[in-house]
Amino acid sequence: MINRIGPPVRGEDFFGRESFVDLVWQRVRAGHVLLAAPRRFGKTSVMYALIDAPRHDFRIIHADLEHMSDPTELLTELIIKLSRERGFSLNLPGMGEAAKRLLERARGVVSEVELLETKITLREQTRRNWKDIGTALFAQVATFKQPVLFILDELPMMLDRMAASPEGREQAIEMLRWLRHLRVAPEMSDLHFLVAGSIGIDYVLNDLGEITAMNDFERLRLEPFTPQVAGQFLDALGDANNIALSPACRTKIFQLIGEPVPYFLQIMFSEVSKLHSASGDKITPAKIERIYHERVLGMDCKSYFEHYNGRLRDYYKPQEEKAIKRLLRELAVTDSLTRSAAHAILHESLGRTLEVEEFNGLMANLENDFYIRQDATTYDYSFACKLLRDWWLRYYGLAV
């Protein structure tokens, strides 16, 4: 097992999410799934777990949409991938004979350059009537009598990119409506979609005025590890890297980072591992504490958590952003706040009336995005994770 920080993990490196994958398969069979989790919680790894071991006779078509900016690109990618699937023979009537030849070629070619040529031609041919061709494509896939799961990674990113221009915005709305129309058609019941993205889909849909465009998706939230799985995870990392972590060290790690988010555990372990390989010294709780304060919370690791601060700017209006940052600062300083204190802070920082509904909405968004959590008994708010609180305190503790 290798401690991979950044890219998706696969095979033996994929750890502790087996029951979540079971759940995804269960829900995918019933409909469509929206994978929700903050950045670096392991969404893409879960997708690859589905791709690497399909179940229930599913065929899987995967596309990473981050670099795409129009529906034709997406459609071409899907056509090419489908046409290369064994046993799938596509015949798209809207495109005529030339397209048929192209698709046969795509199926037969071995050279990537030739395949690209085909793709470019196909892209040009689908540009004029992408919706008709797309509809025909999905209709035909639906006749194959085999369930197909389309995994669309970073769809929110693609939509966000499109929304940057007026034409792109129109096209994004058109694409969302078209996809929804396809999904709800009874004859498409064998086609399933799984969507995920590192930026919040709700914010993007809201911005496009299409908040209901994906309400047929079931949201599955990727949570932190349970303490038991987190312990096993650290053991496995330790074994694979020849670093013995005593129970006291493990306890110290959990004390320091709080909620055992796998990504945070990986960062912590990575820093421990660096020290170990540089000095060969035995790892002790005291050393772990030092690593935490000097490395994990230090400049070297600052960027790992920077998106927690940065994305507030993207998702909220300037005054809201300021108010939320003030609230987070107070939370970081005082550890917890009552509901009324939180309301008072937001109200004062916003400089306007803050209705209870709006307050609840803001707090729910922050909770959903893993900034804060609410105590089930006292209803007080605190940071979702101790590490984040410490990080916030260090870098934004003094900002007002």
Residues forming contacts to other proteins in the complex (CB under 8 A) are 2, 4-11, 13, 39-40, 44-45, 48, 62, 64, 66-67, 69, 110-113, 115-116, 119-120, 157, 270, 277-278, 293-294, 298-300, 303-304, 306-307, 309-311, 314, 330, 333-334, 337-338, 340-341, 344, 348, 393, 397-398, 400
CB closer to other proteins out of 125 and 270: 270
CB closer to other proteins out of 307 and 373: 307
Strand order in the sheet with 32-36: 59-64, 148-153, 191-196, 32-36, 217-221
CB closer to other proteins out of 76 and 137: 76
Strands 32-36 and 191-196: parallel
Residue 94 structure tokens: 């809207």
> What minimum distance in Å lies between the beta carbon of 238 and other proteins?
15
> What minimum distance in Å lies between the beta carbon of 348 and other proteins?
7
Contacts of 172 (CB under 8 A, 6+ apart): 159, 162, 163, 208
CB closer to other proteins out of 142 and 384: 384
Please report, as a single letter, which amino acid is at residue 309: N
> What minimum distance in Å lies between the beta carbon of 230 and other proteins?
21
> What minimum distance in Å lies between the beta carbon of 91 and other proteins?
26
Read out DSSP for 289-355?
Answer: HHHIIIIITSHHHHGGGHHHHHHHHHHS-HHHHHHHHHHHHHHHHHSEE-HHHHHHHHHHHHTS---
How far apart CA 340 and CA 352 sit, in angstroms, is: 16
CB closer to other proteins out of 120 and 184: 120
> What minimum distance in Å lies between the beta carbon of 373 and other proteins?
19
Greatest Cα pair distance in the chain: 72
> What minimum distance in Å lies between the beta carbon of 181 and other proteins?
28
> What minimum distance in Å lies between the beta carbon of 82 and other proteins?
17
Contact 163, 170 (CB under 8 A): no
> What minimum distance in Å lies between the beta carbon of 31 and other proteins?
26
CB closer to other proteins out of 180 and 326: 326
> How large is the C-alpha radius of gyration of the chain?
24
> What minimum distance in Å lies between the beta carbon of 385 and other proteins?
17
CB closer to other proteins out of 94 and 397: 397
Tell me if residue 187 falls in helix, strand or coil.
helix
Contacts of 95 (CB under 8 A, 6+ apart): 125, 126, 133
> What minimum distance in Å lies between the beta carbon of 50 and other proteins?
13
CB closer to other proteins out of 82 and 142: 82
Contact 332, 383 (CB under 8 A): yes
Contacts of 33 (CB under 8 A, 6+ apart): 24, 27, 192, 193, 194, 195, 217, 218, 219, 220
Among 176, 182, 181, which residue's Cα sits nearest to residue 207? 176
Contact 159, 176 (CB under 8 A): yes
Strands 32-36 and 217-221: parallel
CB closer to other proteins out of 180 and 302: 302
Residue 319 structure tokens: 């005054």
CB closer to other proteins out of 18 and 216: 18
Contact 246, 265 (CB under 8 A): no
